[in-house]
Amino acid sequence: MPLLQIKSLTHWFGGLRAVHDFHENLEGGEVVGLIGPNGAGKTTIFNLICGIYRPTEGEILFNGESLVGRSPHEITSKGIGRTFQKLRLWRHLSVLDTVKLAFSSGLNYSLVDALLWTRRCREREEEIEERTYELLETFGLTKYANARAWDIPYGLQRRVEMARAMALEPKLLLLDEPTVGMSLREMYETMDLIRRIKEEFDLTIIVIEHRMKVIMDLCERIKAIDFGEIIADGTPDEIRENPRVIEAYLGKEEF
């Protein structure tokens, strides 16, 4: 059974069709790239998977379970982590608290435990803190644990977002332009990091990216979309040669 199965997904924003008949069968362990010009509907597809929007039509199955109509926290706690294209960090939380908060679905203590700070609550909080520090270590953020997430350099903020997404123990990781705004060096570091966490946490990844270098190096398979529709699907080499992809990116050749 595929890990993620999307069938004839269509989404309308009022009179605008953002996604049209999108489909995908994602096997566990794959790294799939999602490319397309700005406004092609890439991020919308992520938002549809996470339940931020409810699709107008279509079906999304994760491990055979339908996700449509569920609220985002239910969907993501099944094991879908994501990062955002425009950083969405919490302004007033430290890096440590930011990552901790992503453990929310697994708190397993009640409100009363929290109010009375019972042993059960304390032990769980300590456990989560321990694991958060492990994650921070993996992402090279230990030093910044007590800094506000908004105050640290941009490249590190991107890593905080990834660390936060990893705190949900995802099986599927959705990366929305993980290297946008980065220098070349940071870009290579990020690519290494993505490869490393993929191995370490046994992840399946969908990555949206405009930098072809990143897409071509990381992905085994690429889907190109334009105006919400799939225009190509194949290995990096196939996509590179595909006339429709070239057209979408560079325009039609005029004779």
Partner 1 sequence: MRSFIQEIRSRVTGIPIQAWVLGFLVAAAIERLVGDTIAVPLGLGTVPRLFGVRHMVKSPLLIPNTIVYLLVIYFVPISVMAWLTRPLIKRLPSRLSMPLLLVALYGAIHVWGGLDEYRILVLQFIFISILLTVSLNLVNGYMGEFSCASGGFMAVGAYVASVLTVWGFVHDDVFGPPVLPPALGPFAFPIALIVGGLGSALAALLVAIPSFRTRGDYLAVISLAVTFIVKSTFENLEVIGGPRGFMNQPRWASLPVVFVWTLVGVWMMRNYVSSILGKGATGIRDDETAAEVMTVNTRRIKVVTFMLSAFWTGIAGGLFAHVMGYINPATFGIMKTAECFAMLYMGGLNSITGSIVGAVFYQFMAEALRPLGIVKWMTIPVIVFAFMLRRPWGLISFREFGFLRKEVGRAPASD
- The reply to whether 173 sits near partner 1 by the rule CB under 8 A is no
CB 160 → partner 1: shortest distance, Å?
12
CB 50 → partner 1: shortest distance, Å?
5
CB 161 → partner 1: shortest distance, Å?
9
Q: Which is nearer to partner 1, 91 or 252 (CB)?
A: 91
CB-CB contact of 240 with 216 (8 Å): yes
Q: Which is nearer to partner 1, 28 or 106 (CB)?
A: 106
CB 175 → partner 1: shortest distance, Å?
13
Annotate each residue in 216-245 with x if it binds partner 1 (CB under 8 A) or - if it does not, as one string: ------------------------------
Cα separations in angstroms, 5 against 34, 64, 91:
15, 8, 35
CB 203 → partner 1: shortest distance, Å?
17
Q: Which of residues 103-132 bind partner 1 (CB under 8 A)?
A: 103-105, 107, 109, 111, 114-117, 121-122, 125-126, 128-130
CB 128 → partner 1: shortest distance, Å?
6
Annotate each residue in 143-172 with x if it binds partner 1 (CB under 8 A) or - if it does not, as one string: xxxx-----------------xx-xx----
Q: Which is nearer to partner 1, 161 or 226 (CB)?
A: 161
Binding residue count for partner 1, defined by CB under 8 A = 46
Scan for tokens 């993929």, then name that residue. 198
Alpha-carbon span 82 to 135, nearest angstrom? 16
CB 47 → partner 1: shortest distance, Å?
9
- The reply to whether 54 sits near partner 1 by the rule CB under 8 A is no
Alpha-carbon span 112 to 217, nearest angstrom? 50
Alpha-carbon span 144 to 194, nearest angstrom? 20
CB-CB contact of 28 with 3 (8 Å): yes
Annotate each residue in 63-102 with x if it binds partner 1 (CB under 8 A) or - if it does not, as one string: --------xxx--xx----x-x---xxxxxx---x--xxx
- The residue ranges that bind partner 1 (CB under 8 A) are 50, 52, 71-73, 76-77, 82, 84, 88-93, 97, 100-105, 107, 109, 111, 114-117, 121-122, 125-126, 128-130, 133, 142-146, 164-165, 167-168
